[in-house]
Amino acid sequence: MLPTISQIVGAILNIILDPIFIFGWFGIPRLGVTGAAIATVIGQIVSFLILLIFFIRNDSVLKIDLKLFKFDWNIIKQIYAVGIPSALMISIYSILT
């Protein structure tokens, strides 16, 4: 239920912020499509933060302990080894079409 609520909060925030950033209301400069993108990013970040705070503060099936968080550079290298060529292929295809 919480994921649904966090997504609804983010969507409502996006709906509120879209016209503000697109049309430049309340003293904010008119940003057009860039404003829509900024509003969407803000809504998604708020949704993420709601869930992150819940999982850090409450007992749940998924427990996030930031003290145990560390980067495993070998895993990161493996992810990049697969991700970068894939992203390049998709980008090249998008450029060519």
Q: What is the pLDDT of residues 41-89, one digit of tens each?
A: 999 999 999 888 887 776 667 777 777 778 889 999 999 999 999 989 9
What value does the mean pLDDT take over residues 19-30? 91
What was the pLDDT predicted at 71? Answer: 85
pLDDT of 30 higher than 80 = yes
Place of tokens 């239920």: 1
Give the burial class of 39: count Cβ atoms within 10 A of its Cβ; 0-12 exposed, 13-18 middle, 19 or more buried.
Answer: buried
Cα separation, 18 vs 25, in Å, equals 10
DSSP secondary structure letter of residue 24: T
Residue found under tokens 């292929």: 89
pLDDT for 18 equals: 93
Residue appearing with tokens 């879209």: 18
pTM: 0.60
